[in-house]
Structure 1
Amino acid sequence: MTERLNVFEIARNVASVVGMRDIDSLVGNPEPHARAMVVLLNRGCKNMAQMRGTSNQGWIVLTREFAFQTVPGQASYAFPDDYQELVDGTVWNRDTYREARGPLSPTEWQRIKSGLVETTSIAPNFRIRRNVAGTGKAFWVDPVPSQAQDLVIEYVSNQWLTDASRTVFRGRVAADTDLTLFDDDLVEQDLTWRFKQSRGLSFASELAEFELERDKRFAKDGGLRTIRIGRTPAAGLQGQVPDSGFGGVTV
């Protein structure tokens, strides 16, 4: 495994590039430029973590699966603490083998819940709305479950870095030894232009270079699917046709 740079080492590299005096620590350092580095690291990586592609998919390293079991009579369910956004088309009932319908809009939800004529659906419905306590988001299902069933979703996490042991995930820099989940050089490029901008220096070329590299890596993140112009071969048959004797006929 390639050795990774921690956030302090990334900040030192940026300090060297922009001609700033060296720093001996990052988190807790009272010097203004060190404090600015922490703020800009958090801002930049949070911004990158919010990138979305097709079907609202985020970076692969931030994509999580969450499986939970419904409770009879309970309509709402808490998301994981690091939940940021749902990946479209990933809500499934693993007991009925059906994809859930949603997320419903407020209009659709009220039509189901408040309409004179009851709306029925073969697939379960779901909506993302405020939780009962009013402190955050929750996953609501309809109809209200009458039995325990296994549901699964995929979502994008807001935790984009870990501690040095790679066991504790976080959404903000907490120690010099923290490691981001993004490529080190990409974080370094982002921090460089942001720091130069914060100091009133020219940053246009650094920003353009960063955005080009970021977009290129995001587009390739998770691989690129082959798009065929002609008919797609039947699954499992590629390379399975002999040179001769096909169907008992010698060519």
Structure 2
Amino acid sequence: MSLLTVIQDAMVLCGQSQPSSVVSNTDPTVLKFLAFAQIEAEETGSEFNWRNLNVAMSLTGDGTTTLFALPSDFERILQGQALWSTKYPSIPLQGPISSQELLALKALPVMPVRPVWRLIGGQLEIWPALSAAEVVNGEYRSFNPIVSGDGNTRKARWSNDADYTLFPEVILKLGVIWRWKQSKGLDYAEDFRSYSLERDKKAGHEAGGRIVRMTNTFSLGSDQWPGVITVISP
């Protein structure tokens, strides 16, 4: 399937004429269906953990850098996803910790041997700095739910009729249908029910539960420490 076939099917099911094109079309009705497809791609792409939206990430230390720029399509790191260092392959790095927790750690006269991490602005901070050539691997969620027809270019918006979504496209079609009927003041309850059931079923097949929180709890008052303590001489 593609954007074109999705919109063609949706418009026929909504009692409209089947268009021969979508993105380049100037018909207001077709453009409205296109707008609903955009909304559906953004909302469904972000709300569930679709595996095709997970992207591998790798950071290499140089002994001094602590702030690493996030990828341009970074949306979030999924809850439960860890960062793994080649220097400590059996234990994930502690994080994400809050800004206050990191500031408190930096104020102490000791530092953890195994780094901790947090997200700040458009960067990922790992502290203390990774050793030279130390590699940290992980995954992040991309906010680009659409891909070009050749499968090579991920994007945030539809730009070609051959584009398709990185989540099951039946959800896109059902989502466009109920949204159009709602906009026309028509009865869309059964369409919305079918859409919701299909979306939840497909998300469940991918273990795509909704995101609840982003930050792990970390306490300086705990009697456990995420690594070996090194005392720094004055």
TM-score (ref. length: structure 2):
0.82
How far apart are residue 188 of structure 1 and its match? Answer: 0.8
Task: Identify the range of structure 1 (203-212 vs 81-90) with the bigger mean alpha-carbon deviation.
Answer: 81-90
Classify 1:119/1:214 alpha carbon distance in 2 versus 1 (closer, same or farther; 3 Å).
farther
1:167 to 128, 136, 152: 152
Q: CA deviation at 1:180?
A: 1.6
Give the whole-Å Cα distance in 2 for the aligned partners of 1:221 and 1:107. Answer: 35
Give the alignment partner of residue 93 of structure 1, picking from 59, 81, 85.
85
Shift of residue 149, structure 1, vs aligned partner: 0.8
- 1:73 corresponding residue in structure 2: 64
Q: What is the DSSP-based 3-state SS (H/G/I as helix, E as strand, rest coil) of the residue aligned with 1:173?
A: coil
| C-alpha distance in 2 between matches for 1:65 and 1:126 | 17
- Taking the aligned partners of 2:130 and 2:57, their CA distance within structure 1 comes to 18
Do the aligned partners of 2:146 and 2:157 also contact (CA within 8 Å) in 1?
A: yes
**What is the one-letter code of the residue matched to 2:124?**
F
- Number of corresponding residues: 206
What is the match of residue 219 of structure 1?
A: 204
For 1:26, the equivalent position in structure 2 comes to 22
Letter in 2 for 1:196: K
* Distance in 1 of aligned mates of 2:185 and 2:18: 19
Distance of 2:110 and 2:19 partners within structure 1: 63
Equivalent residue number for residue 123 of structure 1: 114
* Structure having the higher Rg: 1
Alignment root-mean-square deviation, CA: 1.7
Deviation at 1:141, TM superposition (A): 0.7
**Equivalent-residue separation in structure 2 for 1:44 and 1:123 (angstroms):** 42
d(CA) in 2 for partners of 1:146 and 1:184?
44
Structure 1 residue 222: deviation in Å?
5.5
Structure ranking higher on relative contact order (CA contacts 8 Å, 6+ apart) = 2
- Residues 1:16 and 2:34 aligned together: no
- Residue 50 (structure 1) shift: 1.4
Q: In the TM superposition, what is the alpha-carbon distance from 1:138 to its structure 2 partner?
A: 0.9
State the shift of 1:184 in Å.
2.5
Which blocks of at least 5 consecutive residues in structure 1 are unaligned? 53-57, 131-136, 224-251
Conserved in 1, the CA contact under 8 Å of 2:9 and 2:18?
Answer: no
How far off its partner does 1:24 sit? 2.4
Q: Distance in 2 between matches of 1:12 and 1:156?
A: 30
Question: For residue 84 of structure 1, what is the aligned residue in structure 2?
Answer: 75
Partner residue, 1:179: 164
SS at the partner of 1:50? helix
Matches within 5 A, 1:107-146: 107-113=100-106, 115=107, 117-130=108-121, 137-146=122-131
CA distance in 1, matches of 2:198, 2:155: 25
Counting aligned pairs with the same residue, the percent is: 21
Q: Which residue of 2 aligns with 1:154?
A: 139
Query: 1:249 aligns to what?
Result: none
1:19-46 deviations in whole A, cap 9, x for unaligned? 1123221113222111112211111111
The Cα offsets for residues 130-161 of structure 1, whole Å up to 9 and x where unpaired, read as: 1xxxxxx2111101234231001111111222
Q: Once the 2 structures are TM-superposed, how far is the Cα of residue 109 of structure 1 from its aligned partner?
A: 1.7
Is the CA contact (8 Å cut-off) linking 1:74 and 1:145 kept in structure 2?
Answer: yes
Among residues 97, 106, 117, which one is paired with 1:104 in the alignment? 97
